[in-house]
Chains A and B, each alone.
Chain A
Amino acid sequence: MTSSPDAPTVLSAHGLFSGYERDLPIVRGVDLAVRQGEFLLLLGPNGAGKSTLVKTIAGLVPVHSGTIDLQGADLTSTHAHERLRRGLAFVPQTENVFTTLSIHENLLVAAQILPRAERSRRIGALYQMFPDLERLKALRAGQLSGGQRQMLAVARALIVEPAVLILDEPSAGLAPKVVSEVFARLREINATGVTTVLVEQNVKAALAIADRAIVLVEGQVRLEGVARELAQGPELGALFLGAQGRRREARA
């Protein structure tokens, strides 16, 4: 456990409404506080708005109302590229590496916002963390396997030593064995002090590595708690089933 309940808040959202279209909010009034150093898990049934919430925080989805704060600074109206400079790194679910660039170039692109002297030091540090990537560094990223791509995407995000790392379903499309490797890696990264927010469908495995979890249903926070307790308690299952049950009714 890398964070304590009284650790300061590093990232927060207040009364957040967002969505692609003005008249159709997908995130509907979310309050969220991510504590320094914690591993926070975002859960919820399909279509609950998890992805939209993290994309909003990353600056990819327009905010209708509410605010987003990072380390005391208001991010709400900044561009996505500006948010990375402020210390917020986001790894999207798909198309998260530049397939036509080499692995090394992928890292160079990300390192560009660092001071010149820092760049090779950070890339070197990440190669140490991901030796596979260094071995393949001249290869075009499009030629990597699914798991390697996820690692490159994570490495790309870590280059700038972000305060918060947000990942949108990194396990999607990966073989179970690879998923557990990726999760172990994320746990390690969190242990080095990087606050981590993870969106996952893979509830059981993800609860095992997270400190705390938040459950989103229909764009609103329905449940919040310590990951270990949620994994054992009945509420989580009820929420998922409930949402599915409702949807089934609506369809019928």
Chain B
Amino acid sequence: MIDILSYGFFFLTVALTYGIICLGLNVQWGQTGLFNVGIAGFVAIGAYVSALLTTPASTSHIGGLGLPIAAGWIGAALATALATFLIGALTIRLRSDYLAIATFGAAVAIQLCVLNLQPVTGGPFGIGFIPRPFAGLARQPFLFGAVNLAIIAAVVVVLYLGLERLASSPWGRALKAIREDEAAATALGKSAVRFRLQAFALGGAIMGLAGAAQAHFIGFIAPDNYQPTLTFQVWAMLIVGGSGNNRGAILGSVVVWGIWALSAVAISAVVPADAQARAASLQIVMIGVALCAILLWRPRGLIGEARVASRHILRPSVARRSSNSSSEH
């Protein structure tokens, strides 16, 4: 019984770290309509920055400042905010899919840096001995798991409340206006760009925080953790939950992570050991197909946005027509 509960704590802890990434993505996509394909890269920045700030001094890489965990998490959020801000500043004025291409490129470049800057990041070996919160309790797995879950749940609750408040603040309403109504965006002009940029960086900061949290719960990070598959998983979570909806983002991450974990268990139970790598790729095929199927058949997701459902997804023609253009430029 205790085992199952401990596993449940662990499962939820991991799922909720994804939930945090998802909340960050929801600020960028759900509330602002900015498409980020580089999630894995931004999460990696958070994880590595926090690891470098908090690990004890090491001979295998520089850094290791041994700061408190909280300092690492704040540093992670700030560093990732800066990175997303720079990418956003580069592309946010351009066509919407240039941001997608640029973030995709950023993730490739970040992954490459993490892999090759061995003196800083430990290269392919990654960074170990990342301090875990309440490490003193590690001998009591049940309590340790419960405390960890409590911390991450607290972070999720604080973020959720903060983001909900933000969404109904003047800032959030301006964002919504920019997203829903091209004319409002044009009327706001320069400040529309600034609003979007702020939202993009805020989302990035949350992703960086999530990366840091993950790193501290697992205790070890390596470049392989930050493959494009991570980006896909987070997208699937947000789309399943319903973009524009913070509760949906959290629910989606628990549901998708649950399906993911269950199918992994099923594969390891059913498929013979030598074919498991192949079966695992089928698991990813499934996520890709599911993402497409939801876009095709249920674009609002499981919950969807509460009030005016994501109009920019369902009825883009409205915005196009109100800009008084007869062609499809």
Q: State the A residues within 8 Å of B (CB).
A: 20-21, 92-95
Contact = CB atoms under 8 A, between A and B. Distances in A.
* Pairs of residues from A and B, 3 with the lowest C-beta to C-beta distance, nearest first: A95-B327, A94-B326, A20-B321
Contacts of B318: 21
Interface in B285-329: 317-318, 321, 326-327
A93 B321 contact: no
B326 A20 contact: no
Contacts of A20: 317, 321
Contacts, number: 8
Contacts of A95: 326-327
A45 to B, nearest CB: 18
A81 to B, nearest CB: 15
A21 B317 CA distance: 10
B317 A93 contact: no
Contacts of B326: 92-95
Contacts of B321: 20
Nearest to A51: B326
A126 B318 CA distance: 39
| Most-contacted residue by chain A among B318, B321, B326, B327 (CB, 10 A) | B326
Interface string B111-153: 0000000000000000000000000000000000000000000
A151 B313 CA distance: 39
A178 to B, nearest CB: 21
Interface of B: 317-318, 321, 326-327
8 contacts: A20-B317, A20-B321, A21-B318, A92-B326, A93-B326, A94-B326, A95-B326, A95-B327
A25 to B, nearest CB: 15
A210 to B, nearest CB: 24
A93 B326 CA distance: 9
Nearest to A95: B327
Contacts of B327: 95
Nearest to A92: B326
Nearest to A20: B321
A95 B325 CA distance: 9
Contacts of A94: 326
Given A20-B317, A20-B321, A92-B326, 5 more contacts: A21-B318, A93-B326, A94-B326, A95-B326, A95-B327
Nearest to B315: A21
B57 to A, nearest CB: 62
A42 B60 CA distance: 81
A21 B320 CA distance: 13
A21 B318 CA distance: 9
A20 B315 CA distance: 11
A20 B321 CA distance: 9
A20 B324 CA distance: 13
A93 B324 CA distance: 12
Nearest to B320: A20
A92 B327 CA distance: 10
Contacts of B317: 20
A162 B317 CA distance: 31
A93 B321 CA distance: 15
Contacts of A93: 326
A177 to B, nearest CB: 26
A129 B207 CA distance: 65
A180 B149 CA distance: 78
A20 B326 CA distance: 12
B320 to A, nearest CB: 10
A21 B322 CA distance: 13
A94 B318 CA distance: 19
A242 to B, nearest CB: 26
A94 B317 CA distance: 19
Contacts of A21: 318
B311 to A, nearest CB: 12
Contacts of A92: 326
Nearest to B324: A94
A21 B314 CA distance: 13
A203 to B, nearest CB: 23
A185 to B, nearest CB: 23
B116 to A, nearest CB: 43
A20 B318 CA distance: 9
A71 B312 CA distance: 41
B325 to A, nearest CB: 8
A21 B326 CA distance: 16
A149 to B, nearest CB: 15
A245 B145 CA distance: 73
A49 to B, nearest CB: 15
B209 to A, nearest CB: 42
A92 B328 CA distance: 14
A174 B36 CA distance: 45
A6 B266 CA distance: 79
A210 B75 CA distance: 74
Nearest to B321: A20
A93 B318 CA distance: 20
A222 B327 CA distance: 30
A95 B327 CA distance: 7
